[in-house]
Chain A
Amino acid sequence: AQSVTQPDIHITVSEGASLELRCNYSYGATPYLFWYVQSPGQGLQLLLKYFSGDTLVQGIKGFEAEFKRSQSSFNLRKPSVHWSDAAEYFCAVGEYNFNKFYFGSGTKLNVKP
C-alpha cells in the first residue's frame, strides 16, 4: 500500500541556518511527489513537485528537493531559513491516475531568531 513517512514531527533551526526535511515513500510505480506548506489556520500551498526528469527540483521561496529512487526519498532543503518559513510541511505522493494524494503526517518547523 502507498504510504508517506515524515520521521521528524518537530524541527527547530536558527534563522540563517540550512534546513533539510525528510520524506520517505512507499509506492509501487513511479511516484509523483510533492511538498506543500501550511501556515497556521491556512490551506496548503504547493512548494514544488517531481514528475520525471532531473531529480533535483527547484520550488518557490528558495526551496529545493531531491528525488532519490534508491532510497525512496524526496527530502526538502533550503540553504538559509527565514523566520517566515516557520510552518508545517507536508510531503505527498500522487497516484499515477491522480485520483488521490497520500500525505505524510507533517513536520512542524520552528525558526529561532
Chain B
Amino acid sequence: NAGVMQNPRHLVRRRGQEARLRCSPMKGHSHVYWYRQLPEEGLKFMVYLQKENIIDESGMPKERFSAEFPKEGPSILRIQQVVRGDSAAYFCASSPGGASYEQYFGPGTRLTVT
C-alpha cells in the first residue's frame, strides 16, 4: 500500500511565477491536509479538504493561495505570484476519517523562490 505521495519533491520558481504542488493521498483516504514548514519552525496548518470540498481553510493566506481536491486526481495546492517568503517545505497528510484520527504524511515538496 503506497503511502502519501507528493510531487514534485523540489520546486524552484522565480518571483511572480506560479507553483503547483500535488498530493495523492493513501489509498482509501478521503481527507487531505496541507501544512507549511518554514525553516527552523514546526508545521503550520493551512487547509483541510475532503473530495470536492474545502472543510477548513483557516490557515491559508488570504491571497495568492488556493487548494482543491477534485473527485478524480490528486489534491493541488496552488500558489500564484510567488514571493521569497513562500520558500518553505509543504507537507500533505491524509486520513481515512471516521474513527481513525491519525494523519499520514507525505515526504513534502520543498519550494525555493529565487
Cβ–Cβ < 8 Å partners of A98 in chain B: 95, 97, 101
Q: What does DSSP make chain A's interface, helix, strand, loop or mixed? A: strand
Within 8 A of A (CB), among B22-61: 33, 35, 40-45, 48, 55-56, 58-59
Q: Is B80 an interface residue (CB 8 A)?
A: no
Chain A nearest Cβ from B111, distance in angstroms: 14
Chain B's interface size range is 20 to 34
State the CA gap A103–B38 with chains docked (Å).
Answer: 12
Per-position binary interface string of chain B over residues 95-114, scored 1 when its CB falls under 8 Å from any chain A CB and 0 otherwise = 10100011111111000000
State how many angstroms separate the Cβ of A100 from the closest Cβ of chain B: 4
Q: What B residues does A43 contact at CB under 8 A?
A: 4, 91, 105-108
**A99-B48, A99-B55, A100-B59 as given contacts; A94 in contact with B42, CB under 8 Å:** no
Chain B contacts for A42, CB-based, 8 A: 107-108
Q: Please list the residues of chain B having a beta carbon within 8 angstroms of any beta carbon in chain A.
A: 4, 33, 35, 40-45, 48, 55-56, 58-59, 91, 93, 95, 97, 101-108
